């Protein structure tokens, strides 16, 4: 055993430090590869249940024109709300919260009066893959726990008091401030 360990140690010391670094570290940009259009488009089309359908529809209408990172960012917001006790506890309920109540829609497309027609097959498949990955445990690391977002073309009142966590593409992302009980 000792001779085996000595031989292995000798071999490891003989490897150029740059080569060793390349062996043990992920290539630059590798963590962003999952967020590329090429990576998403290379996946097979997916289908899912009701929660997948709701998230896919929301991503289609809220983010299909965004970068893939932007699509993931919007999905993170929806799933962060599902995990937050201040919001409903399912994807479909989060997305439809306030629908039908004047000025209460959480996602504009649910109250714009237009039919939800998803005619762009390529965009539908892409957002469906994003929804599938997110619902199946992909790490949420783009928005720093954001529970809100809006496009750069609007300036809602809440955006003045919620801390902005990041901007991805055409969307600003925010985290709702923690509420502290008072007497």
Q: What is the pLDDT of residue 30?
A: 47
Q: CB within 8 A of 43, min separation 6: which ones?
A: 129
Query: N- to C-terminal Cα distance for the chain?
Result: 68
pLDDT confidence bin for 21, thresholds 50/70/90: low
| Residues in the chain, total | 183
- What pLDDT digit, counting tens, does each position of 86-122 carry? 999 999 999 999 877 766 788 888 887 777 889 999 9
How crowded is residue 62: how many other Cβ atoms within 10 Å of its Cβ? 24
Q: Please provide the average confidence, as pLDDT, over all residues in the chain.
A: 87
pTM of the model: 0.79
User: Three-class SS string for 103-126?
Assistant: CCCCCHHHHCCCCCCCCCHHHHHH
What is the distance between the alpha carbons of residues 141 and 40, in angstroms, rounded to a whole number? Answer: 17
Measured CA distances, 90 to 39, 66, 125, 153 (Å): 28, 24, 22, 29
Rounded Cα–Cα distance for residues 53 and 56 (Å)? 5
For residue range 57-85, list pLDDT tens digits in order. Answer: 999 999 999 999 999 999 999 999 999 99
Q: What is the pLDDT confidence band of residue 177, given thresholds at 50, 70 and 90?
A: confident
């Amino acid at each position: 055993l000792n001779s085996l360990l000595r031989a292995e140690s000798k071999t490891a010391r003989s490897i150029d430090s740059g080569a060793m670094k390349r062996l043990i570290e992920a290539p630059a940009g590798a963590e962003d590869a999952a967020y590329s259009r090429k990576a998403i488009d290379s996946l097979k089309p997916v289908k899912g249940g009701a929660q997948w359908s709701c998230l896919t529809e929301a991503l289609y209408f809220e983010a299909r024109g965004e970068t893939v990172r932007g699509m993931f960012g919007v999905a993170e917001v929806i799933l962060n709300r599902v995990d937050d006790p201040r919001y409903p506890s399912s994807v479909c309920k989060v997305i439809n919260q306030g629908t039908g109540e004047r000025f209460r829609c959480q996602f504009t497309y649910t109250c714009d009066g237009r039919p939800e027609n998803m005619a762009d097959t390529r965009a539908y498949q892409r957002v469906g893959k994003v929804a599938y990955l997110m619902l199946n445990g992909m790490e949420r690391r783009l928005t720093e726990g954001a529970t809100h977002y809006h496009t750069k073309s609007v300036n809602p009142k809440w955006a003045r008091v919620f801390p902005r966590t990041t901007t991805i593409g055409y969307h600003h992302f925010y985290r709702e401030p923690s509420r502290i009980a008072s007497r």
